Amino acid sequence: MATRSTQGPPSLATLFLSFLTIGSTSFGGGLLGWIRRELVERRGWIDDQQFLVFYGISQMVPGATNVNLSVIIGTQLRGIPGAFAAVAGLLLAPLAILLALGALYFAARNVPGSRLINAALIGAGAAAIGFNLATGIRLAHHNIRRIGPAVVAAAIIVGIGILRIPLLEVLLVMLPASLLVTLAERAR
């Protein structure tokens, strides 16, 4: 497992710019992958274990998971102002683009070439799903070393991905199960 970051916290401006980059590059999807790439791999502000814990907490509360994740990472790095810097950076570019798109849409319903643009968006979206899947595979490769946690992850993949059981129900069962696995391995 990776060691905890030893760098000092970034300035608010750097934090904002970092999330601005994340928000600007993640059009089409893959946001979780971009967040990990920027904050864990490129900046080293948090490590994989922190990233996974924060992601886990983000899933436990309602709302857009990636906004929750940004709030928690921003708070961790720079307190409450950090949370605002992170979320503002994350949302600025998407908000500007969407307001422009909205204005266009309300002005003229049928944009020429929209079928081609739509196909390109679907292609980027399909690739973005692959980016998130690849992020999951990288995380598994770096952080899962024993059979118990591997079984926990596999059960969740089957439960949500194949059997389509709602996330909340899976978490209510698998979090305690994972805790038991961890405690059992500790005891040995």
Partner 1 sequence: MATLLQIAGVFGVLSLLAFGGGAAVLPDMQRQVVDVHHWITSREFLDMFALSRAIPPGSMIVVLIGQKTAGIAGALVALLAMFGPSSLLAFALGRLWHRAGAAAWRETLEQAMAPVSIGVTIASGIAIARSTEHDWATYAVTAATTLLLALTRLHPLAVMGGGALLLALVSS
Which residues ranging from 2 to 21 are in contact with partner 1 (CB under 8 A)?
Answer: none
**Closest separation in Å from C-beta 5 to partner 1:** 15
Among 28, 43, 88, 92, indicate the residue that binds partner 1 (CB under 8 A): 28
Angle of helix 48-60 versus helix 167-187 axis, rounded to 10? 140
| 45 forms part of the interface with partner 1 (CB under 8 A) | no
**Closest separation in Å from C-beta 158 to partner 1:** 8
Both structure tokens of 137:
């595979």
- Count Cβ atoms below 10 Å from residue 51 Cβ, excluding itself: 22
Binding mask 142-171 for partner 1 (x = CB under 8 A): -xx----xx-xxxxxxxxxxx-x-xxx-xx
Which residues ranging from 62 to 121 are in contact with partner 1 (CB under 8 A)?
Answer: 62-72, 75-76, 80, 83, 87, 90-91, 94-95, 97-99, 101-103, 105-106, 109, 115-116, 118-121
Query: What is the phi-psi region of residue 30: left when phi exceeds 0, alpha when psi lies from -120 to 50, beta otherwise?
Result: left
**Going by C-beta distance under 8 Å and a sequence separation of 6 or more, which residues neighbour residue 15?**
74, 77, 78, 82, 85, 86, 89
